Each structure stands twice: as structure tokens, then as C-alpha cells.
Amino acid sequence: MKTLILDETQTDIAARILKDGGVVGIPTETVYGLAANALDGNAVAKIFRAKGRPMDNPLIVHIADFDDIAKFHLVKEIPDAAEKLSKAFWPGPLTIIMKRTDIIPKEVSAGLDTVAIRFPSHPVAQKIIKEAGVPLAAPSANLSGSPSPTTARHVLNDMDGKIDAVLDGGSSDVGVESTVITLAEAVPRVLRPGGVTVEQLREVLGEVELDDAVLHQLKEGEKASSPGMKYKHYAPKANVVLLKGSDDEFISYVNSKSDDSVCALCCDEDLLLLSVKTVSLGRRGDYLTHARHLFDCLRRIDENPTVHTVYSRLPSTNGVGLAVYNRLIRAAGFEVIDLEKL
């Protein structure tokens, strides 16, 4: 199949393809999504084929108005907490899980009795959803397992020839996927950290738990609350190793490994101090910028076939830092070297 490349003025073409049961790569403020009509199981099945995604991993349903939840009868009941969250953070990088109705195709819910819903803030995403006239199911538009795409070019690198079209809406501002919170249980719980921080969620809801799988590897046989958490994710082809320690320890450890196959994923302040190849996430401590650049950095490292090992600092778990931590620790397969103990 030939993949059409559309620009921001061609949302009508994207909407037409989606209405006809096709699959389109669309920009959102978090990452690019691979969209199809969320109410059409056959259309949604094409997303899984294009991504090579396991069928037991459910998709997020994207809406363009809070009232779409009721209009399309997506959930059994809208909890008070969902209203509060939507007032505070929608449109934006937050996904809310609620008890679903039978309107949701099995391809979207992957056999769960819940559905994940998000109202993105990207104006082009909103326009496409409105013009399509239906909610859109969309996972990140990468091949399953590889870093999520933050530009139309990234989407084409993974999906050219596999999807009907991609619409170029510029680079994604947040850069990591949405925060996923479930309201389907007694206490609200964050299943995936993202652009909306746990601190912000607690300000609105009070008690909010953090799922174990956000920071830790699931033990063998343990069930993932969010099926996506159990897969090795966000990984470039090179081996990612996280280093825990001071800035000086980081620099001297990486320089001691100096050879052609090593690359450091670092901060601007390190660039002159490191003697290996470098890719910078941005200024030290600027977690928003690190999040925005993370996936592009991982993809750029992959473009260099001589790189076999990527060293990075263990990120902070504060604010949006937690989202970067969660992605990098998975990319590293939970491998952390404690430099203080060496």
C-alpha cells in the first residue's frame, strides 16, 4: 500500500480515510498516534497488524469533547473524579480509564471490562476527530517495542507502506505518552506516568496511588494492570545502561569506556567533558525538555550502526522526570549500575 503524506490543511482527507475504515498516523501533543475508527473492530484490527502489536494490549480512545463520552455511550458511568480531572487537565496529556459499555469493540478493550479515554489538546488531532465524526482508537504510531514517534518522519520510518496516510502536524510538544490513570478501582492509580505529573493529580484528587510497575520490573507471573507495562518498550537497538551516581562519577565512568561503540545520552553541560559520542536531552534538570527530546534522541542513536551501548544517568523521579525515568528504565531492561558501589 502507498502511504499518503498529508499536511495540516488536509485534515478532511485524513477524516475521510478514517470514516472509510482506514488507518492514519496523526499528530498529538504527546506523540504521534496510529488512528482508526474506535467503534469499528475491523478498522482497529488493522492498527494491530501495522504495529505488530500483541492483541492483548488495549488501545486509548480519543475524543474531541468531554461530552463525546456520553454522546457515544463509551462508559457505564462517569465518576466524579473523571469530571474533576477533565476540568483540570483536558484537553491534554491525560488518559482516564473507566468501566466500558458494550459499544467498545473487543479489539479496543483487549478483553478488559474498562476503556481508556483521552481528549488531546493538539488542534489538528481535535480537528481530525471532529471531522471523522467518531472517536479514534490510537496507540503510539511506532512499531511495537521501538521508541514512540514525535514527528511525521519517525512515523514514516516505521510505517511507510503499512498504513493509508500520515498527517504532518509538526513535532510533538510533550514528547512522551500521556499519563494513564485508572478510576475503575477504589483508589485512583497511575499506571503510566506522562505529561501530567503525579503531584498535579494529587492536588486535584487527593489520594492517588502509583502502580508498582511504574518504577519496578514485574516479577515473573505477576499480572500487569496495564498490559503495555509488561513488554520491553521504547528500546533502541543499542543496549541502554543506566548509571546511578554523581555527575563526576558519571563522566569518569563513561570516559573510561571510551570507544567507537559507546554513546552517552547526556545533558548539554556534559558535552565538553565527555570523550565518547554524545546525544543531549537538554539542559540539566530541565525535565520538560528531556521528555520532549527523549524518543528523538533514542532514534538518532539507532541511526548510528556502530553504537552498541548507550550510557545514561538514572533520571530523577520528580515531576515529568518520572515519565522519562519510566521510559528509560524499560529501554534499559531495568539494568542500573550503581557507581557508588563500584
Taking the least distance from each CB to Mg ion, the nearer of 81 and 156 is: 156
Q: Which residues bind ligand TXA (CB under 6 A)?
A: 28, 30-31, 33, 57-60, 95, 97, 112, 114-116, 118, 138-140, 177-178, 180, 191-192, 226-229
Buried-exposed string 238-261: b where 16+ CB fall within 10 A, e elsewhere: bbbbbbebeeebbbebbeeeeeee
Q: Give me the least distance between CB of 311 and ligand TXA, in Å please.
A: 26
Q: Give me the least distance between CB of 271 and Mg ion, in Å please.
A: 30
Which of 184, 42, 212 is CA-nearest to residue 113? 184
Q: Give me the least distance between CB of 295 and Mg ion, in Å please.
A: 10
CA separation for the pair 36, 38 (Å, rounded): 6
Contact stretch for Mg ion (CB under 5 A) within 68-76, 92-100, 137-145, 322-330: 137-145
Count of C-beta atoms within a 10 Å radius of residue 66: 17
Q: Give me the least distance between CB of 182 and ligand TXA, in Å please.
A: 6
Taking the least distance from each CB to ligand TXA, the nearer of 30 and 86 is: 30
Taking the least distance from each CB to Mg ion, the nearer of 52 and 170 is: 52
CA separation for the pair 53, 139 (Å, rounded): 10
Taking the least distance from each CB to ligand TXA, the nearer of 85 and 191 is: 191
Q: Is 140 in the site for Mg ion (CB under 5 A)?
A: yes
Taking the least distance from each CB to ligand TXA, the nearer of 191 and 314 is: 191
Q: Give me the least distance between CB of 227 and Mg ion, in Å please.
A: 11
Q: Give me the least distance between CB of 194 and ligand TXA, in Å please.
A: 6
Q: Give me the least distance between CB of 151 and ligand TXA, in Å please.
A: 13
Q: How many residues bind Mg ion (CB under 5 A)?
A: 1
CA separation for the pair 230, 109 (Å, rounded): 17
CA separation for the pair 182, 188 (Å, rounded): 6
Return the half-sphere exposure (C-beta side, CA atoms, 13 A cut-off) of residue 158.
28
- Indicate which of Mg ion, ligand TXA, none lies near residue 91 (CB less than 5 to 8 Å, by partner kind): none
Give the DSSP H or E segment for 82. helix 80-89
Please answer whether residues 282 and 268 qualify as being in contact, where contact means their C-beta atoms are separated by less than 8 angstroms.
yes
Q: Is 178 in the site for Mg ion (CB under 5 A)?
A: no
Q: Which residue has the cell 480537528?
A: 127
- Indicate which of Mg ion, ligand TXA, none lies near residue 227 (CB less than 5 to 8 Å, by partner kind): ligand TXA
Count of C-beta atoms within a 10 Å radius of residue 87: 10
Give SS3 for 15.
helix
CA separation for the pair 250, 270 (Å, rounded): 10
Q: State the cell numbers at 173.
A: 510538544
Taking the least distance from each CB to ligand TXA, the nearer of 28 and 312 is: 28
Give, as ranges, the residues between 218 and 247 that touch Mg ion (CB under 5 A): none
Name the site residues for Mg ion (rule: CB under 5 A).
140
